[in-house]
């Protein structure tokens, strides 16, 4: 495989997911192994994997994804070049069957998206200040995802997957779009969650 082909494969999220699906379905794939060999795609792929629990129809899905998304955001905001995970997280990961099932579920959408997504305006993905801004937005979105705001898990998770795709494919145009959408989500749901928190405090005060 040529170096250019290797870079193409690295940036192709469907190729990465297809590679993860090959093997014993019962294997647990540690995050450190899933990210091994990735270069500029590592943060994007980790964000992609971190978002998956939010798509599971259980109440704690966002509580699992949110803190990990926020951790990724902090590292981007600090200008780190490679993601860092504590050992207790790096040694854990999804079952191969779960990744394969999600791959089958999301592939039709990725087929459509890959016609539109490509490397362009890469300075919005690679520039230090741009990555810091992306990191701040991911921290805020991760915090919102971890809050029990009704009917928002899929919304935040879908938005975070677009962030991941922009990072993996180095698509600055898509990044600009998700900056705007992410900023709007933070503004709207940040206010909403603040109102919910105030309402909860009033309820507790009324009961006391």
End-to-end CA distance of the chain, in Å? 69
Residue 166 belongs to a domain: yes
Q: Which of 107-111, 176-180, 190-194 has the highest mean pLDDT?
A: 176-180
pLDDT digit string, tens, across residues 31-69: 888 887 676 678 988 998 888 888 776 666 677 888 899
Domain membership of residue 97 (yes or no) is yes
Structure confidence at residue 2 (pLDDT): 36
When the pLDDT of each residue in the chain is averaged and rounded to a whole number, the result is 80
Cα angle value 175/179/181 (rounded, 5°) = 115
Structural domain includes residue 190: no
Q: Which residues make Cβ contacts (< 8 Å) with residue 207, sequence separation at least 6?
A: none
Decide if 35 is inside a domain.
yes
193 domain residue, yes or no: no
Asked if the structure places residue 192 within a domain, the reply is no
Alpha-carbon gap, residue 83 to 72, rounded angstroms: 7
Ramachandran angles phi, psi of 177, nearest 5°: -65, -45
More confident residue, 159 or 5: 159
Q: Of 38, 40, 47, 43, which Cα lies nearest the Cα of 15?
A: 38
The whole-angstrom separation of Cα 104 and Cα 130 is 32
* The predicted structure's pLDDT at residue 82: 86
The 8-class DSSP code of residue 95 comes to B
Give the domain range for residue 103: 3-182
The 10s digit of each residue's pLDDT in 68-108 is: 999 999 999 999 988 888 888 888 888 888 888 777 777 77
Cα separation, 130 vs 181, whole angstroms: 16
For residue 196, what pLDDT band results from cuts at 50, 70 and 90? Answer: low
Confidence of residue 23 (pLDDT cuts 50, 70, 90): confident
CA distance 43 to 46: 5
Number of domains in the chain: 1
Contact criterion met (CB below 8 Å) for 190 and 137: no
CA 208 to centroid of chain Cα atoms: 41
Residue 188 lies in a domain: no
Angle 77-80-84 from CA coordinates, rounded to 5° = 105
Q: Give 32 or 171, the one with higher predicted confidence.
A: 171
Claim: this prediction has a pTM higher than 0.75:
yes
pLDDT for 110-137, tens place per residue?
777 777 888 898 888 888 999 999 999 9
Residue 204 lies in a domain: no
Q: Which of 156, 110, 119 is nearest to 13 (CA)?
A: 110
């Amino acid at each position: 495989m040529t170096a250019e082909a290797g870079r193409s494969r690295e940036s192709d999220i469907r190729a990465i997911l297809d590679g993860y699906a090959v093997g014993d379905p019962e294997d647990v794939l540690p995050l450190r192994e899933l990210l091994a060999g990735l270069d500029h795609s590592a943060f994007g792929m980790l964000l992609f994997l971190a978002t998956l629990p939010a798509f599971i129809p259980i109440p704690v899905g966002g509580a699992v994804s949110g803190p990990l998304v926020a951790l990724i955001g902090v590292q981007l905001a600090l200008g780190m070049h490679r993601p860092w995970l504590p050992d207790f997280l790096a040694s854990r990961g999804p079952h191969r069957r779960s990744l394969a099932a999600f791959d089958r579920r999301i592939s039709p959408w990725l087929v459509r998206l890959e016609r539109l997504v490509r490397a362009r305006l890469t300075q919005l993905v690679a520039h230090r200040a741009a990555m810091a801004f992306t990191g701040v937005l991911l921290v805020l979105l991760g915090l919102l995802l971890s809050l029990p705001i009704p009917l928002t898990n899929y919304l935040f998770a879908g938005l975070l997957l677009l962030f991941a795709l922009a990072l993996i494919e180095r698509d600055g145009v898509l990044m600009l779009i998700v900056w705007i959408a992410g900023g709007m989500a933070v503004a709207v749901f940040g206010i909403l969650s603040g109102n919910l928190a105030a309402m909860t405090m009033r309820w507790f005060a009324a009961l006391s």
